[in-house]
Amino acid sequence: MASGFFALLDDVAALMDDVVIMSKISTKKTAGILGDDLAVNAEKATGFVSSRELPVLWAITKGSALNKIIILPIAFLLSAFLPIAITIALVLGGIYLAYEGAEKIYEYFFHKNHKDETKADIIDEQNLTKEELLLSEKKKIKSAIITDFILSVEIVIIALGTVLEAPILNQILVVTIVCIIATVGVYGIVAILVRMDDFGYKLVKIGNGKSILHHIGNVLIRALPIIIKSLAIIGTIALLLVAGGVFVHHIEFVHHLVKDINLPSFLVEFLVGLIVGIVAVLLLQVFKLLFKGSAQKA
């Protein structure tokens, strides 16, 4: 009996070792999307009244957890009974990530006026009533949760794609751990970021214009928009890297096409992701023009 119990403990320890190793690999693979998730949610959680930032972030966090609770069972069922669906979803997700990354670059170069419109929307909100502000807040929360759902699907699929050959129990444990890290880690960092400027203002007030606290507070206040912009840039690069990695490692034609290219692997993956993203953006623009033309004729 005792030997059987210790054998069971040994099996559990071995299982947990495997899970930890696979979780580290999966977390690295999903790091790109986590960076984009962080940038997106930091942006969506700012622009509210200071007292409402954390309640709004908590509402989005609960929505994110619910998203993953919905997605995980479906993903595990597909992995168990239709594993090819995971690979297909992975490639489709890669196309979406490449499109999103390329679209951000396109928007930066060709639609800079969009930023001015966003600022105007924030200014207009200052003149809204309390009821209108709450309604606007609910819309933003809903939009953030929908965006999180798309990113959560990608996180789950990419994490699952790294452990498809493992037993189903290992898959469940690894992907669940990655999802917990994604939710707690991302939204925990966002919570720190959105309160960073308020903490800076408090330090400025305490410092009274003279002490080192005053200077630290000013640094924190000025650093927040820079950090959010930096995260957006890093997130865009990461999206293209993740997408390119999906195509290079899961599409045999692409793998053979780039295997002899004498460049660092990360640069190859970035270029592949960028090319696919540009093609996706161009195709969508053409589709929009055709749809607009047919609508005008009708």
What pLDDT score does 120 carry? Answer: 43
Instruction: Say whether pLDDT at 155 is over 60.
Output: yes
Asked if residue 179 lies in contact with residue 151, where contact means CB atoms within 8 angstroms, the answer is no
Instruction: Say whether pLDDT at 91 is over 90.
Output: no
What pLDDT score does 277 carry? Answer: 94
Q: What's the mean pLDDT in 17-40?
A: 60
Query: Residue 106: CB partners within 8 Å, gap ≥ 6?
Result: 281
Q: Which long-range contacts (CB under 8 A, 24 or more apart) does 11-20 make?
A: 15/169, 15/170, 15/173, 18/166, 18/170, 19/170, 19/173, 19/174, 19/177
Instruction: Read off the pLDDT band of 122 (50, 70, 90).
Output: very low
What pLDDT score does 282 carry? Answer: 92
Highest mean pLDDT among 79-88, 142-151, 171-180, 268-277: 268-277
Q: Tell me how far apart the alpha carbons of residues 162 and 153 are, in angstroms, rounded to a whole number.
A: 14
Q: Which domain holds residue 246?
A: 2-297
Instruction: Say whether pLDDT at 11 is over 60.
Output: no
More confident residue, 28 or 266: 266
Instruction: Say whether pLDDT at 150 is over 80.
Output: no
Give the total number of structural domains in the chain: 1
Q: What DSSP line would sit under 142-167, residue for residue?
A: HHHHHHHHHHHHHHHHHHHHTSTTS-
Q: Quick one: tokens of 211?
A: 């002490």
Mean pLDDT of the chain: 76
Q: Tell me how far apart the alpha carbons of residues 133 and 126 are, in angstroms, rounded to a whole number.
A: 9
Q: What's the mean pLDDT in 189-207?
A: 81
Which run of H or E residues covers position 185?
A: helix 168-194
What pLDDT score does 233 carry? Answer: 81
Instruction: Read off the pLDDT band of 123 (50, 70, 90).
Output: very low
Q: What's the mean pLDDT in 212-221?
A: 83
Task: Report pLDDT digits (tens) over 182-197.
Answer: 888 888 888 887 778 7
Asked if residue 163 lies in contact with residue 174, where contact means CB atoms within 8 angstroms, the answer is yes
Instruction: Read off the pLDDT band of 10 (50, 70, 90).
Output: very low
Q: What's the mean pLDDT in 192-207?
A: 80
What pLDDT score does 271 carry? Answer: 94
pLDDT above 90 covers a percentage of the chain that reads 7
What pLDDT score does 117 carry? Answer: 46
Instruction: Say whether pLDDT at 7 is over 50.
Output: no
